[in-house]
Amino acid sequence: MSGALSREERKAELAAALAEIQERIATACAKAGRDPAEVQLLPITKNFPASDVALLTELGCTEFGESREQEASAKAAELAEAGIHPRWHLIGRLQRNKARAVLRWAGVIQTVDSVRLAEALAKAVAKARAEGEREDPLDVLVQLSLDGDPQRGGVPQDQLAELVAKITRSGELNLKGVMAVAPLGSNPHDAFGELAEVSARLRNEHAGAVVVSAGMSGDLEAAIDHGSTCVRVGTSLLGGRRLTSP
Ligand SMILES: *Cc1c(COP(=O)(O)O)cnc(C)c1O
């Protein structure tokens, strides 16, 4: 395939993919006896240009997920210049020394997985508030490790209570729920079933922690079956092709 698509061709391609995913979500919700309005479709735009985010905004999307602080902050800045201000979710690993930087563009950090990271974020929020850069606490999700392998991100279940306590007592972070990635090679139904149990226990003590961010292009049906309220879709929406910004 040579040459980039025109803006209108790309918009039509994205519109078709968006409709297809919405259909998948609706079908999965019908099977699970759930209301599709409970499930947010979060487009994941990592590796894709700001122009695609702009087109998806025209198609009605208002929130996006990004994996890397530097790529996301550049994209957010480019879009802000064009007057486009979506709500961004960080869905990738965050280094503690990037806590201050991430606050400038991210509305939600989905990947809080250690006490030390929670502390760094809380400190950065406190500083930004003291300096008049922001008013509100930062929305966060706790990323849970479903295979206990800390290399892949996520807090092991036996450290979850300590992390939750750190977040909820900080006053700077707003615990919105949980996030997980199904371990490679596992049955997603097992993984998402486990996540649903953890989420239910968490909600017993923290009624506001209602978000369950689970499911990607390949396993969103299983995630919806187990109560996901946010599916993070990259490939099925944006495709495998990488475009350069015009
Ligand atoms: C890239 C990514 C996604 C999207 O994955 P696709 O398979 O492309 O839909 C979802 N969640 C996380 C954490 C990701 O890094």
Please work out whether the CB of residue 234 comes within 6 Å of at least one atom of ligand 1: yes
109 CA to centre of ligand 1 in angstroms: 15
- 8 A C-beta contact, residue 160 and residue 172: no
Is the CB of 47 within 6 Å of ligand 1?
no
Q: List C-alpha distances in Å: 205 to 146, 161, 198, 202.
A: 21, 11, 11, 6
Quick: pLDDT tens for 181-205: 999 888 999 999 999 999 999 999 9
Distance, CA 187 to ligand 1 centroid (Å)?
17
Average pLDDT over residues 79-84: 97
Segment 30-50, tens digit of pLDDT:
999 999 999 999 999 999 999
| Cα–Cα distance for residue pair 165/52, rounded to 1 Å | 38
| pLDDT tens profile 201-233 | 999 999 999 999 999 999 999 999 999 999 999
Residue 71 Cα to ligand 1 middle (Å) = 15
Q: Give the burial class of 44: count Cβ atoms within 10 A of its Cβ; 0-12 exposed, 13-18 middle, 19 or more buried.
A: buried
- What domains can you pick out in the chain, each with its CATH number? 2-48+108-238 (3.20.20.10)
Any alpha helices (H) in 140-187, and if so which ranges? 160-170
Average pLDDT for 122-140: 97
pTM: 0.95
Per-residue pLDDT, 3: 61
In terms of Cβ atoms closer than 10 Å to its own Cβ (0-12, 13-18, 19+), residue 70 is exposed
